[in-house]
Amino acid sequence: MLKHIIMFKLKEEYDGHSREENAEKLVAMSRSLVGKIPTLRFSETHADCARSPISFDVVIELSFDDPEGLQSFHEHPLHMELVHFADAASEQLAAVDYVY
């Protein structure tokens, strides 16, 4: 199995919405992918509750059978919608992928 974890530090404001509103939207978009992308085996998405200066705002944890499954996910049109929003709304991203 392959784990893909990505964290988003959102801009204070984007597209007329606050950081918190955009965090809620990103969480909802991520959760909506479950059952719609065949290679996605596990998904968990949460907004940060600590709100410390070093915190990221949203974390997405995904699992795939193999690297090809992750690649297929990356290319899926529904994922690309999330990417476009997240890239525009974020000021910083961090990601890690590992086999387990």
Q: 45-66 pLDDT, tens per residue?
A: 999 999 999 999 999 999 999 9
CB atoms within 10 A of CB 67: 12
Query: Which architecture does CATH list for 2-99?
Result: 2-Layer Sandwich (3.30)
d(CA 84, CA 66): 24
pLDDT band for 6, please (50, 70, 90 cuts): very high
Domain ranges of the chain: 2-99
Q: Whole-model pTM?
A: 0.95
CB atoms within 10 A of CB 30: 23
Note whether 72 and 41 are within 8 A (CB): no
Bridge pairing between strands 90-99 and 17-18? unpaired
